[in-house]
Amino acid sequence: MSSDAEKEFIEKARSPFSEAFEMFRKNHAAVAGLVVLIFIVLAGIFGPYVYPGDPFEMVWAPFSPPGDEGYFLGTDYLGRDLASMLIHGARVSIAIGLSAAFLTVFIGITIGALAGFYRGWVEEVLMRITEFFQVLPTLLFSMVIVALFGATLPMITLAIGLVSWPAVARITRSEFLRIRELEYVMAARACGVSNGKLIFKVILPNALPPIIVQAALMVGSAILFEAGLSFLGLTDPNIVSWGQIIGSNREYILDASYTVTVPGLAIFVTVLAISLVGDGLNDALNPKLRQR
């Protein structure tokens, strides 16, 4: 048997992962988004060491425009260095974005998978609960949680996760409903595979692509959500975050509009990058689109 032909065959039949990676790489907007995102994450992790300084310290006269005295983004209404605040804020935004999205996806997958797998009254009850959570205006609900239970970072993360999961639950459930009727699931069931294995080893891996895309978008939504809460002042006052910079400076937009526009731009660029990556993942993971 010629090993050349064999090698060729193997090369042609690439793993779905590398095929998806190839698709993603062809999407220039998604790659650009990923590059920007990596830069922001690195800035969040290492920024405070590269650009040291306490973001709460008053370093120069308030409302100094960008570039003044070496403060390349200027100072805010209390004379704090905007660049330093922005770098420290990146940490909070990304940390909350990731952890809240993780929580959202965890709750969403659990509820959606149980509803889609067991059907019947389990589905009925879980979907009613989902609908209930969709009726509560998300931001107001999380405002109430934060107001009653305290504005700490874990509580904010919990509040965001608690109000955002229904979208993930719905997607998971509809994927489960579709996949549980497919032949290979039937076959596994007929072989006596346990329900737990069916859910986690057979159905869930096949349901993942749309959930991964949704999870990516959830990171963006969570960042926006946190920004909204901290813009309203409902955040830990001892921690800088992008939304909070805007919220605390917004009364001074006549004097120094950059204190609002610049942090907003940071949020915008971050979320935009995430959504471009999400689009890229969607194209890469959706086999129907791949054939075009």
Give the nearest distance from C-beta 52 to another protein in angstroms.
Answer: 28
Between 74 and 247, CB nearer to another protein = 247
Between 61 and 147, CB nearer to another protein = 147
Between 234 and 285, CB nearer to another protein = 234
Q: Site for another protein (CB under 8 A): how many residues?
A: 43
Residue with tokens 């040291």: 52
Between 202 and 219, CB nearer to another protein = 219
Q: Which of residues 112-171 bind another protein (CB under 8 A)?
A: 131-132, 134-141, 143-145, 147-150
Residue with tokens 């990731």: 98
SS3 81: strand
Give the nearest distance from C-beta 275 to another protein in angstroms.
Answer: 5
Would you give the DSSP letter of residue 138?
A: H
Segments in the chain forming alpha helices (H): 3-12, 16-26, 28-50, 82-118, 120-135, 138-149, 153-179, 183-190, 195-197, 204-231, 242-249, 258-285, 287-290
What's the distance, CA 35 to chain centroid? 16
Q: In the stretch 208-227, what mask flags binding to another protein with x, by CB under 8 A?
A: ------------x---x--x
Structural contact between residues 182 and 199, judged by C-beta atoms closer than 8 angstroms: no
Point out which residues bind another protein (CB under 8 A).
131-132, 134-141, 143-145, 147-150, 220, 224, 227-228, 231-234, 243, 246-247, 250, 253-254, 257, 260-261, 264, 267-269, 271-272, 274-276
